[in-house]
Amino acid sequence: MDLDITSIPELTHEELRRLYQLVDATRELDLAAVAWQRQGIIPGYAPELGQEAAQVGSAFAMDTARDFLFPTYREMGVALALGVDMVEYMSTHKASWHGGLYNPVSTGLAPIQAVVGGSVLHAVGWAHGQRLSAAPGSELPAAMAYFGDGASSQGDVHEAMNFAGVLKAPVIFFVQNNGWAISLPTQDQVAGGTVAARAAGYGMPSVTVDGNDAPAVVRATRAALAHARAGNGPVLIEAMTYRRGPHSTSDDPGRYRSLDEERRDAGADPVARLAALLLEDGAADQAFLDASRSEAKAHAEKVREGVQALEPRPGREMFDFVFAEPTDTLKAQARAWREESEHV
């Protein structure tokens, strides 16, 4: 069953301008983060070049006063669009704190998840809890679960979608199909060539959207939210995009695709495409685009300074957030660590 988005209005000029600023800032910060890794400022990073519209567009539609988003390790654009402090977000890539130093409760963004497909289970659990605690007939909060076409083959993802479908959990499964599961092309690891087709087997509608078209992603997400909030259960959105760079800064995409293939298959650049739309629709002029780029560069430089100033976290913190109530074994491990490391 396809989700109908025709009733969702087009974005206003004000929304388009804000959307562009976020997409532009994401592009600039993403390029900067890759450079930081090459310079030794951060040890590793998962680039998202080409996926800015999918990430920013989906987060742009959410309401963090009530919704909750569950990222992987590649959702920097989502975090930026939600207003997360990017120095605190980048602390994971600096290897000073796992999951990010930002506050998940106040930002509406769960900790960064490095386990492939792991955050999808968390999203469904949270969404099911919201449904159970909601007043009868009230509009529901919604969860957004991010994962890629590669992660869609994980058993955890299938279990999560089945659970959500059976219990009508208000969760949006947002698949960024960037064409590659690390070095394996989508057609070689997704039967049928599309993740969206799987949604019907779990009793949920789906929509396939051009992931390089930021306004289209916003509208698709708003339609999915309306469906979930009304108590109709989950929705799967498949945003078709392209990973223009490596899977991570330790990956060499030249081992499994050529530059000619990358240029041929990448499609329209999402940042340039949105800029052209603003100019064509009269939503902005070139001066606005130039100012946005200057602000994006200044923001990236400010984040770099903050990341470089991050100090290592106290080692004892590794024991603080394992269980809500620490076990005797964990307490013993913490005592042993303090005796060996802090001599107390």
Closest CA to 321 of 97, 145, 115: 97
Active-site entry in 17, 98, 256, 293? 256
Phi, psi for 180 (deg, rounded to 5): -140, 135
Under 8 Å between Cβ of 52 and 31: no
Q: In sequence order, what are the residues at sequence separation of 6 or more whose Cβ sits closer than 8 angstroms to the Cβ of residue 172? A: 142, 143, 144, 145, 221, 224, 225, 228, 234, 235, 236, 237
Active-site entry in 93, 247, 299, 304? 247
Q: Distance of alpha carbon 54 from its chain centroid, rounded?
A: 9
Query: Using CA atoms, how far apart are residues 121 and 72, in angstroms rounded to an integer?
Result: 12
Q: Residue 122 catalytic?
A: no
Per-residue H/E/C for 16-61:
HHHHHHHHHHHHHHHHHHHHHHHHCCCCCCCCCCCCHHHHHHHHHC
Q: Residue 98 catalytic?
A: no
Active-site entry in 243, 244, 299, 304? 243
Q: Residue 146 catalytic?
A: no
Q: Distance of alpha carbon 182 from its chain centroid, rounded?
A: 17
Give me the active site residues, please.
243, 247, 256
